[in-house]
Amino acid sequence: MNILNLQFLLEIVFGTIIFLHITKKNFGAALSYGLQSLAITIVIFSSFFETGSMPLLFIAIITFIVKVIIAPVFFIKLIQKHELTFSVSTYLNMPLTLIIIAILTFVAHSQKFVPLTGIVPANQALLSLAIASIFLSIFLVINRKGALSQIIGILSLENSIVAFTIFASLEQSPMLQLGIIFNIFIWLVIASVFISMIYKHFGSLDITTMNNLKD
Amino acid sequence: MEIIFIITTLIITALLNILIKRRFVIEFFSIIASSVALFESIVVALKVSTAGVYSPFVFFSVDSLGAIVMLIVACVGFITTIYSVPYLRQETAKGIIGFTRVKQYFALLNIFLAAMFLAITANSLVFAWISIEATTLSTAFLISFYDKPSAIEAAWKYLIINSIGLLLGFFGTLLYFTSMSSLGENGFVSWQSLLANTIHLDPLIAKIAFIFVLIGYGTKVGLVPMHTWKPDAYSKAPNPIGALLSGALLPVAFIVILRFKIITDMVVGSQFSQNLLIIFGILSIAVAALIMFNARNYKRLLAYSSIENAGVMALGFGFGGLAIFAATMHLIYHSLVKGVMFFSSGNLLLKYNSDKINNIKGALGVVPFTSILFIAGFLVVTGIPPFGIFQTKMQILSAGIQLHPVTTIITLFFMTLVFIGFLKHIVSMFFSQKPENIPVGEGNIWLIIPPLTLLVIIIILSFYTPPFLYRLINDAVAHY
């Protein structure tokens, strides 16, 4: 796949993270994560077409099943079960959130990160975008008050790291990649169970309602 | 073979615990599984002490420090399993938990132990990461075990903070692979192959990678400022699990940081990683000391004590030289003493039904054996002579005073503050007037034997180090 197409796919990943920051509806967030994962899956598929490696095809299929189908379905079922149409608000207001997004993106593209973005000089722009995605995903987890948004933020962080890995040519053996995906799947199941437990105990997914932990 | 046997036994036991419907059988199988793990760990440690690195398969490798941590996990794991039996029986008798919870507890306990053994023995960096992440997933349900809002909150905090931390650690891990990709060696990357290819690792990338790894796995260790999950998780988890989190999981995560330290040191020299460890170490000791002084919950007090001791270990490895030997011994003593303290605090919880320091009065008169164990644990953990931690703290400080006098004096000040703060709570809990409404007497002899056993081991190790353990420690010092 040529560099422009790869850049377009990474821009989808980056764009979905921006969308996750600004969206007010959980349904849109779940679909956005599915779209983001689809972009990652296509990148892995493209690696398969270039190398012809069958294990890579297998990884792409598993990624597609876990991240593009199962995870969003999990989220949508949770949203429907607990009637969580609207996501919980953010700590910072929207203008301030957008300013911080801009600053983080700028920092990721600055000279400070050249040692990382220069791992594969031909992919410098892509690696900068992947690092920006990592920063924005961490900021998403910190800034969102909703438990569901935090889960999606962490999964988004994982997707961003995977994108960085691919463009920096740091792929692991297929067996270990499978291990990572399995791990993510188990994490997803456990996090979803916790979402239900939080809703049962607190009647909401707003983590600011959790204030039982005091010395 | 021993490693596979340990992990398989623990996983099969976890699965059996889900299926079996008799409590006695669940408890029996769990004790057998943990005793098998202990026996096989001793076998592995003996092999490593005589023949060096033990690597029966390409996927597993145990070096000297790995063997020490394996012994710690096995020993604390075995005694925790034994203690868990009477502890959970008492909780069942009080109506706090039912049989389903007991099944869940022992299944998760065995998975937790298996994940820790995997993390120590994994020869692949990514496999080690997967195993450490697996410990997060198994312990999240153990922290939320009592299904109370505060427990759910603590577990959620633990899950989110550790997941972010470990993903950052994963990112750092992957950055080390740049040395392999330049050789076209993508795929299975072992610790040895990474060490052999450090010459291809860019120094700047090595520095950035180590920072990510230190932050990532440091979250699991509980180094300040990534420690915020620790007091909540420790205070909400069942007491035996607190012992495992502090006594076993902490050294497991610490050893991963140290393995990356070796690689980084080969690329950029030891100064960089040592300075970082000193910074995180002193921060951890200072923050823990200040908070411990005003703690109101004795389980949280133990959590802050763990943070302080993680700081002491980081400082020891940061100072280098003789301090590394002391830090390794400190790691062993701390794991054992945290077992003593969490088990005896579990006995206090069963007797007083409260984890608040203000609600524990006259404990020495109410539960004398438990009180003596807790007080002995306090004396050990704060570094009172003649116990081993006194020697390790002194050795670390004397190693530090030559190169980092200011840091060492600050550390000494905060260590003194820890002692004073801890002593204040000890006096309040144990030497005050006994309340009338609390019946006098220990609950069960089997609630005393496990912490007593650990205390005896600490006392023996304070004066005598078995030759095989001495060889392992010396070898670890030479490598780390």
- A93 and B CB contact within 8 Å: no
Average pLDDT over residues B52-63: 91
What token pair was written down for B187? Answer: 């795929």
* B87: pLDDT strictly greater than 80: yes
Confidence of residue A85 (pLDDT cuts 50, 70, 90): confident
State how far the Cα of B44 lies from the Cα of B237, in Å rounded to an integer.
31
What token pair was written down for B422? Answer: 């801890």
Measured CA to CA in angstroms, residue B153 lies from A16, A153, B229, B235 at distances of: 29, 18, 10, 12
Report the greatest alpha carbon distance in chain B.
74
What token pair was written down for B18? Answer: 């889900």
B90: closest CA among B450, B367, B445? Answer: B445
Whole-angstrom Cα Rg for chain A: 18
Average pLDDT over residues B152-167: 94
Q: Report yes or no: B334 and B309 within 8 Å, Cβ to Cβ.
A: yes
pLDDT the model gives residue A214: 65
What token pair was written down for B170? Answer: 């994963």
Q: Which domain holds residue A74?
A: 3-209
Highest mean pLDDT range out of A207-211, B189-193, B277-281? B277-281
Distance from the B391 Cα atom to the nearest Cα atom in chain A, whole angstroms: 32
State the CB neighbour count (10 A cutoff) for residue B61.
20
pLDDT tens, position by position, B232-274: 999 999 999 999 999 999 999 999 999 999 999 999 999 999 9
pLDDT the model gives residue A172: 66
The structure's pTM equals 0.94
State whether A176 and B127 contact (CB < 8 Å): yes
Chains A and B form CB pairs within 8 A to the count of 112
Q: How many domains does chain A have?
A: 1
Average pLDDT over residues B356-367: 94
- From first CA to last CA, the distance across chain A in angstroms is 56
pLDDT the model gives residue A208: 85
Q: Report yes or no: B182 and A173 within 8 Å, Cβ to Cβ.
A: no
- From chain A, the residues in CB contact with B295 under 8 A are 215
ipTM (interface pTM) = 0.94
pLDDT the model gives residue A152: 94
Burial of residue B87 (CB within 10 Å: 0-12, 13-18, 19+) is: buried
What token pair was written down for B220? Answer: 């699991």
State how far the Cα of B71 lies from the Cα of B377, in Å rounded to an integer.
20
pLDDT the model gives residue A24: 87
Burial B447-479 (b: 16+ CB within 10 A, else e): bbebbbbbbebbeebbeebeebbebbbebbbee
- From chain A, the residues in CB contact with B186 under 8 A are 169-173
- Across all residues in chain B, what is the average pLDDT? 94
Residue A215 domain flag: no
- From chain B, the residues in CB contact with A199 under 8 A are none
- What percent of chain A has a predicted confidence (pLDDT) above 70? 97
pLDDT the model gives residue A178: 78
Residue A58 domain flag: yes
The SS3 of residue B465 is coil
Residue of A51, A135, A136, A213 for testing the chain B interface, max B β-carbons within 10 Å: A213
State whether A172 and B186 contact (CB < 8 Å): yes
- CB proximity list for A212: less than 8 A, separation 6 or greater: B148, B149, B150, B153
- A196 and B CB contact within 8 Å: no
Average pLDDT over residues A2-10: 86
What token pair was written down for A120? Answer: 């594969």
Give the nearest chain A residue to B149 (CA atoms): A201
Give the nearest chain B residue to A56 (CA atoms): B187
Residue A214 domain flag: no
Q: Which of B135-139, B208-212, B421-425 has the lowest mean pLDDT?
A: B135-139
- From chain B, the residues in CB contact with A141 under 8 A are 160, 164
- Residue keyed to tokens 């929207």: A94
State whether B186 and A175 contact (CB < 8 Å): no
Q: Report yes or no: B132 and A179 within 8 Å, Cβ to Cβ.
A: no
Q: Which residue type, as a one-letter code, is found at position B403?
A: L
State how far the Cα of B215 lies from the Cα of B225, in Å rounded to an integer.
9
Residue A33 domain flag: yes
Whole-angstrom Cα Rg for chain B: 21
Residue A90 domain flag: yes
